[in-house]
Structure 1
Amino acid sequence: MRWILVLAQVLDVLAQWITRDSEALRSPGFCPCSKTDLCRPVSADLQHQLEVVVFDEGEMDYQHYDWPKITAIVFSDNSKEQILCIAHENKVRVILQGKITMKVLRNGNSQEQWLKRTLNVVKVLNMDGIYLEMSGAVVPGGPEYKALSRLIKKITVLLHSEVPGSQVIMNVPWFPDCPHGRCYDFVTIAKSCDFLFVMSFNVQDQMWDECFAKANAPYDQIFTGLADYIGLGIDSRKLLMGIPWFGYDYPCMKLLEPGRCRIQKSSHGSAPCSSLIATPILYKDIVRLLPVSITGRYWDDDDKSPYFVYKVNNTYHEVWYDDPESISLRSSITVKLKLGGVGVLNGNNLNYSVNPIATMQTEEMWNALSPVRRKRRIWNI
C-alpha cells in the first residue's frame, strides 16, 4: 500500500480515536524518501536556542518554505508525503496533529488505547512528536482536570522513551484565566510536556467594551497573557508564542473614521461582541487587497497593529492583520520574556509565486520571525 494511503488511513483513525486493535496500523519501517536516513526521527542531540514551529495545511507550498529558519513543522492530515523527507533533510522535526476528547479522559481503558495508538501512529509515520488540542471544556476540580494532566505526562514519557528527541506540544489559550471553560492545570502540564503553544491571537473572540473592529493580536494583551503564564511559575522556555499570518475582515455597520468601524453585536459567551462576525483572511490575500483599499495602510500605536479600509457593494470593511513590522515587534517578546520560541499559523498563508513583489513580501514575513534561532548540536560527553 502506498505511503500516502497509509497516511490518510492512519490519520483518519487518529482523528476519530477508533479503538481497534493495533494490528490495523502498519509496522514501522516503510520509507517514502529517496534515502532511508530521512525517515529516521531527528536526533535528540539537535537542540535549539529558539524554536520556530510552523503549521502546514497541505498543498505544495512547503517546497518554498524558509527551512533554515524552522525547527519543527506541524503536519495536517492532508499534507503531502514528501514533506517528511524535505523536513528531515533540513533537520526539522515533523510533529503530528492530534486531539484529546472528553471520552478519552473519562475512561481509563480509552486512555490506554489512546496512548497505544498515538505511539504507534508517530512511529509508523516516522514522526518526531505530537501536537495536542483538547476537545471540550475542562472544569477545575472535575475528573477531567487531573486526568488531562496525567495523560499528557504519560504520553510525554512514552514518546521520549520510544522516540528519543521527540516533542510533545500542548495547545493552550492566549491567557490562563479559563477562557471558554479551558481550565487546565497549566503548571503541571508544562512540567510534563516539552512546550505549551500559547494561541497569542484571536484575542477579540470576546469583546467586553465597545463593539468595534480590533486587532487580532494586540501587543499589550498578548504580552500580558504570556507574562501571566510565567507568573504561575511556568518556565518561560516552555512557552511558544503563536504568530498569526492571517487577519480579520470586519464588515462595518457604520464607519465613523478609519479605526472606528462599528460592528454588529454578536454575543460569544457572556461578551456582547465578537470577532467571529468577521471573516478570516490570509496574509497573501491581504496584500492583494491592500493596494485597492480606500485608505492604504494605517497603524494603531496602542495595539501595534496595521489595518485598512475598503468598500464593496456600498459596505465598508476594515481589515486588521499582522505584517513584518507588527510581527517583528511580537517576535521581540521572545527575548523580553525569554520564551522558548514561536509558532506560526500557517506556512501556507504566504504567496510563494515567482512574482518579484510577492517574493519580497514573503521573504519579509519569514525574516520578521527574528531573532533567528540557529540549530546547534549538543553532544553528551
Structure 2
Amino acid sequence: MSWLLWILSSIFVVCRANICPCERPELCQQIREERDFEVFVFDVGGKTWKSYNWSMVTTVATFGKYDTELLCYAHSKGARVVLKGDIPLHYIVDQENRTAWITEKVNLAKSQFMDGINLDIEQEVEEGSPEYYALTALVKETTDAFHREIPGSQVSFDVAWSPKCIDKRCYDYITIAESCDLLFVMSYDEQSQIMGDCIAMANAPLSQTLDAYDQYINMNIDPKKLVMGVPWYGYDYPCLNLSEEGICSIAKVPFRGAPCSDAAGKQKPYSWIMIQVNISMSGRLWDNRQQAPYFNYEDQKGQIHQVWYDDPQSICPKADAVKSKGLRGIGMWNGNILDYSDEPVARQQTTEMWNALLGC
C-alpha cells in the first residue's frame, strides 16, 4: 500500500508541476522573441526582483529557488527566465551521464515553463584533457536539446573576463561560442590571480577589462555572442600596511597557481559600500589608472581596510564600449545587491546603477 501511495504522490507532483502557476495561462508560454540589446540579470533569490528596472531586463538567470511569481512577472514583461546549470566535469566525461543530465535539465525547464539555461561551469580545465572535450560537447548537446525541445529557448555560457586560461579555465572558447546563443563574460574578479605585488586593486580595471573583449573578438568570436558582465559588488581588503601613497598590502592567499588573489578580501554588496564610504576615513577616492573608485576605513579593532568597487562612473565607460564594440548586451552579478528600499538617497543610487548599464 505504501508503494502505491508513493507512486500516486509522484504522479501528483509531476502533474502539478505542469499546471500553469500564472493567473493568465499565456504567461506560461516560453519567450521566443529576440531583443536587439540584451540586459542579463542574475537573481539569487528573495523578492528584490520586484524593484528591478523591468523596462530594461531581457533575461533573468535564477540562481535562487524557483519562484513562480518571478516567472509570471518576467514573462508579462517579455523577459526570459532561465535555469542555472552546473555539473562536475569529471562526471560528464561519460556520454551517458552527459545525456542524462541534459535530459533532466530540459525536462525541468519545460515543467517550470522556463526559457533556457545558463551554464555556469567555472572549473579548471586543462586543454586537450577528457574534461576539455566533454565540456565542449556538453555546451553543444545542451544547446541542441533545448532548441529542439523548447523552440526559441536561450542557452548561455559563463566565461572568465579573458580567454587566456584565467583561473586555469583553458576552454575551447571558439567552439563553445559557436555552439551556444551567447557568452556571458564575467568582467569582474580580475584579481583572482595576482602575479605581481600583493596589493589591493580594482575588481575590474577599465583598460584590462576592455582589452579582454578584443582578445575574444580577435579569436573570431562574433561580438553579438558576447554579453559584458559588470560587478555590483566590491572587495574589502584588510591592509597589512597602508603606504603614504595609499597602497594597501594584502595577505598572500594563493589561488590556482597564483601567489596572491582577491580571496584576501571579502566581497561586499553595493548597498553596504554606499553606507560604509560615508563613514570612512578617506571618503570616496578615484584611481585614474584603473578608472575605479575606492576608499579606506578603520574597523573597530583599529585595522585599516581598503575597499575597491564599481559605481556609475566606472561602469558607464564599460557600457559605452558594449555599444562601440557591437556586443550583444550587458548584465551584472547580481541584481539583488542594490538597496531597493524607499530611502530617497538609496533609491537614487539604485536608479543610477541601473541607468549606468546603458552608458554615459
3-state SS, counterpart of residue 147 of structure 1: helix
Q: Is it true that 1:260 corresponds to 2:247 in the alignment? A: yes
- In the alignment, does 2:39 pair up with 1:52? yes
Q: Distance in 2 between matches of 1:356 and 1:105?
A: 50
Superposed CA RMSD in Å reads 1.8
Amino acid at match of 1:355: E
Matched residue type, 2:30: P
By how many angstroms is 1:258 displaced?
Answer: 6.2
Deviations 1:111-151 (A, max 9, x none): 12112111101101100000012253222112222222222
Partner Cα separation in structure 2 for residue 287 and residue 258 of structure 1: 24
Q: When the two structures are aligned, how many residues end up with a matched partner?
A: 349
> Which of residues 336, 356, 359 is equivalent to 2:347?
359
Find the aligned partners of 1:191 and 1:59 in 2 and give their Cα distance.
Answer: 34
SS across alignment from 2:125: coil
Asked if structure 2 preserves the Cα contact closer than 8 Å seen for 1:254 and 1:262, the reply is yes
2:298 aligned counterpart, secondary structure:
strand
Instruction: Render the CA deviation track for 1:312-366: whole Å, top value 9, x for unaligned.
Output: 1211111000001111111112022211111211111100111011110000000
Counterpart residue number, 2:18: 29
Going from structure 1 to structure 2, the CA distance change for 1:195 and 1:186 (only over 3 Å counts) comes to: same
Q: Residues 264 and 233 (structure 1 numbering): CA distance in 2 closer, same or farther, change over 3 Å?
A: same
Of the structure 1 ranges 212-221 and 146-155, higher mean CA displacement relative to structure 2 is found in 146-155
Superposition misfits of 4+ residues, deviation over 3 angstroms: 22-25
Once the two structures are TM-superposed, the CA of residue 79 in structure 1 deviates from its matched residue by: 4.9
In structure 2, relative to structure 1, the CA distance for the partners of 1:25 and 1:76 (3 Å cut) is farther
Aligned equivalent of 2:62, options 75, 80, 86 = 75
Residue 273 of structure 2 is matched in structure 1 by 286
Q: RCO (CA 8 Å, sep 6+): is it higher in 1 or 2?
A: 1
1:331 aligns with 2:332: no
SS in 2 for 1:47: coil
TM-score, scaled relative to structure 1: 0.88
Q: Which residue of 1 aligns with 2:338?
A: 350
The SS at the match of 1:203 is coil
Match of 1:174 in 2: 161
- 1:319 pairs, out of 301, 307, 310, with 307
1:92 aligns with 2:71: no
> For residues 221 and 25 of structure 1, what CA distance do their matches in structure 2 show?
50
Letter of the 1:359 partner, please give it. R
Distance across 2 between alignment mates of 1:25 and 1:77: 21
1:249 alignment counterpart: 236
- Opposite residue 346 of structure 2, the aligned amino acid is A
Task: After superposition, give the CA deviation of every residue in 1:29-73 in whole Å (9 maximum; x if it has no partner).
Answer: 31211111111111x2x2222111001111110111101111100
Comparing 249-258 and 279-288, the one that deviates more? 249-258
Q: Which runs of 5+ in 2 are unaligned?
A: 1-9
| Per-residue Cα deviation, 1:145-167 (whole angstroms, up to 9, x for no partner) | 22222221121122112212210
Q: Does 1:62 align with 2:33?
A: no
**Could you say what secondary structure the match of 1:287 adopts?**
helix
1:105 corresponds to? 92
Deviations for 1:191-250, whole angstroms, at most 9, x for unmatched residues?
A: 110011111110001111111110000111111112111111100110111110000000
Amino acid at match of 1:29: N
1:71-122 CA-to-partner distances (Å, cap 9, x unmatched) read 1001123253210011001000001101132244221110121121111011
Question: Residue 113 of structure 1: SS of its match in structure 2?
Answer: helix
Does the Cα contact within 8 Å between 1:25 and 1:124 map onto a contact in 2?
A: no
- What is the percentage of aligned positions where both structures have the same residue? 41
TM-score (norm 2): 0.93
Single out whichever of 241-250 and 146-155 deviates more from structure 2. 146-155
